[in-house]
């Protein structure tokens, strides 16, 4: 399994992976709308001649207080073709991409997802760091991972996703 940055020729397959994984087009449309915005990251899991997984990150903002201008990214979506799920492909995508987020200068990543899944990568409830989600979701499913220890010290407020998320809901 190879994890790599997406390429232009991958876009159709990435769309198909997201549609198959989520059984709807919303996530695929979201990725297409966000692609090309500064500080987005997109990676694929590739078997020979086939893309089987995809992960995407886009910038979020913090409406509140933070001691310095921090780059925070939102992880969404993470998709693996149904027939390849539960084989560690999502884990490979997350681990690889978090390293790349750090290389980009990102200090923290937020995600709306399963605490049982994302906690294995070090994600904790964002509430513990003084952050809340702009959407009405349970505290345990809105999580954050500091890529640099202490980067969120003194921060608090509401994390806001790009308008494209609302448009594709």
Q: Is the pTM of this model over 0.85?
A: yes
Q: Could you tell me the CATH superfamily of domain 2-167?
A: Gcn5-related N-acetyltransferase (GNAT) (3.40.630.30)
Tell me: the pLDDT tens digits for 19-35? 999 999 999 999 999 99
d(CA 54, CA 36): 16
Confidence at residue 49, expressed as pLDDT on a 0 to 100 scale? 87
Token pair recorded at residue 22: 């989520």
Q: Is the peptide bond before 77 cis (omega within 30 degrees of 0)?
A: yes
Domain boundaries, the chain: 2-167
Backbone angles phi, psi at 29, to 5 degrees: -65, -45
d(CA 169, CA 166): 5
d(CA 124, CA 110): 9
Tell me: the pLDDT tens digits for 59-76? 999 999 886 678 999 999
Backbone angles phi, psi at 108, to 5 degrees: -155, 155
For the ranges 2-6, 63-67, 72-76, 138-142, the lowest mean pLDDT is seen at 63-67
């Amino acid at each position: 399994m190879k994890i790599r940055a997406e390429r232009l020729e991958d876009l159709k397959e990435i769309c198909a992976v997201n549609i198959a994984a989520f059984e709807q087009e919303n996530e695929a449309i979201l990725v297409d709308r966000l692609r090309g915005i500064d500080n987005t990251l997109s990676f694929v899991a590739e078997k020979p001649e086939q893309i089987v997984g995809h992960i995407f990150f886009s910038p979020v903002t913090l409406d509140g207080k933070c001691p310095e201008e921090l780059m925070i990214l939102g992880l969404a979506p993470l998709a693996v073709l149904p027939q390849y799920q539960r084989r560690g492909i999502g884990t490979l995508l997350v681990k690889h991409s978090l390293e790349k987020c750090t290389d980009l200068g990102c200090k923290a990543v937020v995600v709306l997802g399963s605490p049982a899944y994302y906690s294995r990568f070090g994600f904790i409830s964002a509430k513990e760091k003084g952050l809340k989600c702009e959407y009405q979701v349970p505290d345990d499913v809105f999580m954050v991972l500091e890529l640099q220890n202490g980067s969120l010290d003194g921060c608090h407020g509401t994390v806001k996703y790009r308008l494209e998320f609302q448009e594709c809901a």
